[in-house]
Amino acid sequence: MALKRIIPCLLYDGSGLVKTTKFKNPSYIGDPINAIKIYNEKEVDELIVIDINASKQKRKPNFDDIANMASEAFMPFAYGGGVKTYDDFVKLYKIGVEKVIVNSLIQEDVEVIKKVVNQFGAQAVVACIDYKKPVFGAKAPYSYLGNKIKYSLNEYATYLANEVGVGELMLYSVDKDGTWEGFDYEVTGQILECVDIPIIACGGCGSLDDLKNVLYKTNANAAAIGSMAVYSRKGMGVLINFPARNQVIQE
């Protein structure tokens, strides 16, 4: 059985690390390089950094900052935010990013993503699906501008896996983000039945039991942790954190 990965998901606002709740009210966490040095010591499986403002501010990725982060990270490093062109992908791979996470580009120019997959392989691209429950109707994928995407969740996941050809899906629950209430096990299980590529569950992790449930009961391939990775506990101060592997094993 493939190793179940636990991945700190760090949110970057262009100058420092922040943490959001339901994608709102970012709170300053600290310097990304300091955090990465601590994660190196804790031997994390993989690291995700997402620039939450790049697409909103219509700016390119900060390649210099990303290069510094990638060079400091002793683990596989994934980056997302503001990636719009084929050249952006190429530059990110050259400076040490192993996986590029795409989101808004899927709606804006999906052919760029297909070209990257064809050139660098499916494993080099992760598609992030931000989703939430609207006032009426089923949970659905949304763009970074808050607009509902035309597909249902199942349709969107299938489209990304089978037609676009990405190597992995990151399911990011807007409603669960920063709540410490546990992952969205229902949607994670639902999407796992739709596609044959790895799934990263993201949003809501607040305990070791949450990790065990999503990795071994829902059977997600990986779990991304946000609040649990940067706070000592809910409502308490900043503490770069990561659970020991022997704490998260199948019982």
Residues 6+ apart with CB under 8 A from 218: 183, 185, 188, 189, 192, 201
| Dist. CA 48–CA 100, nearest whole Å | 9
Which pLDDT belongs to residue 1? 47
Domain boundaries, the chain: 5-242
On average, the pLDDT of the chain sits at: 94
Stated length of the chain:
251
Is the per-residue pLDDT at 145 higher than 90? Answer: no
The pTM assigned to this predicted structure is 0.95
Residue 3: pLDDT band with limits 50, 70, 90: confident
Higher pLDDT, 238 or 167: 167
Query: For 4-14, how does the pLDDT look when each residue is reduced to its tens digit (9 = 90+)?
Result: 999 999 999 99
List helix spans (H) across the chain. 32-41, 63-72, 86-94, 104-108, 110-120, 153-158, 185-192, 208-212, 227-230
Q: How far apart are CA 146 and CA 207, in angstroms?
A: 29
Q: Which of 130, 177, 184, 210 is catalytic?
A: 130
CA torsion angle 52 101 37 63 (round to 10): -70
Q: Under DSSP, is residue 192 helix (H, G, I), strand (E, B) or coil?
A: helix
**What pLDDT is recorded for position 208?**
94
**Mean predicted confidence (pLDDT) in 73-88:** 97
Q: How far is CA 139 from the centre of its chain?
A: 18
Q: How far apart are CA 148 and CA 132, in angstroms?
A: 9
pLDDT at 139: 96
pLDDT score, position 78: 98
Give the pLDDT mean for 225-249: 85
Give the per-residue pLDDT at 251. 61
pLDDT higher than 50, residue 87: yes
Query: Over the stretch 33-71, which tens digit does the pLDDT of each residue have?
Result: 999 999 999 989 899 999 999 998 999 999 999 999 999
130 is catalytic: yes
Give me the architecture of the 5-242 domain, per CATH.
Answer: Alpha-Beta Barrel (3.20)
pLDDT tens sequence across 183-223: 999 999 999 999 999 999 999 999 999 999 999 999 999 99
Cα separation, 105 vs 107, in Å, equals 5
Q: Is residue 163 predicted with pLDDT exceeding 90?
A: yes
Share of the chain above pLDDT 70, in %: 98
